[in-house]
Chain A
């Protein structure tokens, strides 16, 4: 069956460097710095990344950061909470725009 997503394509991420080596290397240098231990631990950053991956619904990131979270000592319980954080933010973003709805409705309603 044809499908847009193939799990093995995650292993070909570095092929993007073939289109522009300079920009790829700049991106990877930045990426590595972002996920290094800092004020937040690498584990905390992996959990954030997992949440964001669900918010933007990137299957590659979900795959990669599920593994990364487990390898940094997290567990399915913590990771599920991170997914709910993404859900709450995305849902909340929709909900708070309801204030706009109420503003418009109030303006034009009797």
Chain B
């Protein structure tokens, strides 16, 4: 199945509605309630343990329309963080000691305020991560992006589902693998991925289909060997993540007849160790419009913070956020299956 050319929204799909997705995910009889699994692990109600990652989703505009995208990002998406909201984000961050700013999208680099956010977060002394699709580095309007990222010592967290072209292109679009390798060579040329350079290059891989990711350490070794051998590119580390049953991956599951089997796979692989380390416990997610969420997945399902937590970054209050109760749902099985999954890779220790 080739990646769609347009987002769910552009195609008028019923799945473009977050409410419809939640209705499907919470339909009785497919899987037991996630909260029951948490209860069995002694983690219900799930609560934050203190924020160490301030994740900003600057919008849903992207130059790709990947098959598995939980954001439903694409070239047609108009949602874009304004300068005023970006300033509110930095004002909130400045009131804290949160060490890491994680900028995501869509393709976050396409937002007109992306570079200002990077500069400002670095001025505040925070570690900055750019969730990069790699091909964006090759766009004519972004030809200086690599130098910009390197000059601000931004960690590039780049998506690459496979060290082979066929599965990568099947998920991310024809020709994306070749462009990804070209972008990785460009980054290596700037110093990214080299030992001791201080320019951290992290790869993120997710399964190209309805199955769980492999063991992270083993996959990292395999990627390192194959990318060096076949393409002469290097990186520092690799994270494995699980595909979440949201948006376009949910569409794939339904169209391919894999939905129930995949959900049962996630449930059967529920790992209490992974659940204890889920990223929502230490991450705060800010939407393009400034609304606050426990994670990017809740953001896409339109499940904002609850239980007395502030709704908008303009009302940021660490006292009401650091130990907040987290909003969960059946999609959360994706983060607790097997070795666990997060924006930082496997979570089970």
Interface residues of A (CB under 8 A from B): 41-43, 67, 70-73, 75-77
Contact = CB atoms under 8 A, between A and B. Distances in A.
A46 B211 CA distance: 15
10 contacts: A43-B214, A43-B218, A43-B222, A67-B211, A71-B212, A73-B213, A75-B162, A76-B166, A76-B167, A77-B164
Contact of B166 (A41, A67, A75): A75
Nearest to B264: A11
Interface of B: 162, 164, 166-167, 207-209, 211-215, 218-219, 222
A78 B67 CA distance: 22
Contacts of A72: 214-215, 218
A41 B218 contact: yes
Given A43-B214, A43-B218, A70 B164 contact: no
A42 B214 CA distance: 10
A70 B207 contact: yes
A70 B324 CA distance: 38
A67 B213 CA distance: 11
A71 B211 contact: yes
A75 B39 CA distance: 37
Contacts of B166: 75-77
Given A70-B211, A73-B215, A77-B164, 18 more contacts: A42-B215, A42-B218, A67-B211, A70-B209, A71-B212, A71-B213, A72-B214, A72-B215, A72-B218, A73-B213, A73-B214, A73-B218, A73-B222, A75-B162, A75-B166, A75-B208, A76-B166, A76-B167
Contacts of B222: 43, 73
Q: Is the interface of B mostly helix, strand, loop or mixed?
A: loop
A73 B211 CA distance: 10
Interface of A is mostly: helix
Contacts of B162: 75
A67 B214 CA distance: 11
Contacts of B219: 73
A78 to B, nearest CB: 8
Contacts of B211: 67, 70-71
Contacts of B218: 41-43, 72-73
A70 B208 CA distance: 9
B216 to A, nearest CB: 10
A73 B164 CA distance: 11
A75 B167 contact: yes
A68 to B, nearest CB: 9
A50 to B, nearest CB: 14
Contacts of B213: 71, 73
For the complex of A and B, list the 9 residue pairs with the smallest distance between their C-beta atoms, beginning with the closest: A73-B214, A73-B219, A72-B214, A70-B211, A71-B211, A75-B167, A71-B212, A75-B164, A73-B222
A90 B235 CA distance: 41
A41 B215 CA distance: 11
A43 B218 CA distance: 9
A67 B211 CA distance: 7
A43 B211 CA distance: 15
Contacts of A73: 213-215, 218-219, 222
A71 B240 CA distance: 11
A41 B218 CA distance: 9
B188 to A, nearest CB: 23
A104 to B, nearest CB: 47
Nearest to B265: A67
Contacts of B167: 75-76
A42 B222 CA distance: 13
B204 to A, nearest CB: 14
A71 B164 contact: no
B68 to A, nearest CB: 14
Nearest to B214: A73
A72 B213 CA distance: 7
Contacts of B212: 71
B257 to A, nearest CB: 12
B312 to A, nearest CB: 40
Nearest to A67: B211
B273 to A, nearest CB: 18
Nearest to B221: A41
B1 to A, nearest CB: 14
